[in-house]
């Protein structure tokens, strides 16, 4: 399954490959990226979704966002105009390169919900490279982010998270 903006990602390896490419542009520098996976890609690691059409990440600071943008441009990613469905989404940037589409948020999703220190502490480092750490947010935190969005599929993703079981105390 694919759409006009990238193709479906069906394996963890495709996600690892992307972040290994990002890391390769930082090797030999003192620059470090902490990247927080929040969408369908994160749900793949929680076994709550089989594939995703994009990789949703949130950066925890302006400096981290600037570094991420620089690396993506050096990898040949193009910034893409946002489609109408993203009008109220407050997405900071959308980048495309071949099969990869990254939706990049800077500290907030939908201009409403910020990544918090508690969310960061609950995240799991899924991939730790020399200059890049890929963190996967908890199911509970992904559920909260998905509950404020209006994209197609977010209600279904939320239902799948609930079916797996979540700690409602964390959500609250």
Considering the chain, what percentage of its residues have pLDDT values greater than 90?
A: 68
What local confidence, expressed as pLDDT, does residue 84 receive?
A: 56
> If you compute the radius of gyration of the chain from its CA atoms, what whole number of angstroms results?
15
Residues 78, 9: Cα–Cα separation, whole Å: 19
Q: Rounded to an integer, what is the distance from CA 163 to the centroid of its chain? A: 22
Which structure tokens are listed for 156?
Answer: 């279904």
- Residue 4 pLDDT class (50, 70, 90 cuts): very low
pLDDT per position as a tens digit, 121-146: 999 999 999 999 999 999 999 999 88
Closest CA to 39 of 131, 115, 98: 115
Closest CA to 83 of 73, 91, 71, 72: 91
Rounded to two decimals, the pTM is 0.89
Please give the helix or strand (H or E) that residue 93 lies within, else none. strand 93-97
pLDDT per position as a tens digit, 72-111: 999 999 998 766 555 555 567 889 998 899 999 999 987 7
Handedness of CA 148, 95, 26, 46 (dihedral sign): positive
């Amino acid at each position: 399954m694919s759409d006009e903006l990238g193709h479906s990602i069906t394996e963890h390896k495709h996600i690892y490959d992307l972040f290994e490419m990002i890391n390769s542009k930082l090797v030999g520098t003192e620059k470090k990226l902490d990247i927080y996976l929040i969408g369908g890609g994160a749900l793949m690691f929680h076994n709550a979704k089989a594939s995703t059409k994009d990789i949703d990440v949130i950066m925890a600071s302006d400096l981290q966002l600037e570094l991420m943008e620089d690396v993506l441009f050096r990898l040949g990613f193009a910034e893409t105009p946002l489609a109408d469905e993203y009008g109220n989404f407050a997405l900071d940037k959308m980048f495309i390169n071949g099969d990869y589409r990254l939706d990049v948020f800077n500290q907030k999703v939908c201009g409403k919900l910020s990544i918090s220190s508690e969310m960061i502490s609950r995240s799991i480092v899924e991939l730790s490279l020399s200059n890049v750490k890929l963190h996967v947010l908890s199911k509970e935190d992904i559920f909260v982010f998905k509950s404020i969005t209006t994209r197609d599929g977010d209600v279904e993703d939320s239902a799948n998270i609930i079916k797996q079981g979540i700690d409602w105390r964390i959500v609250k």
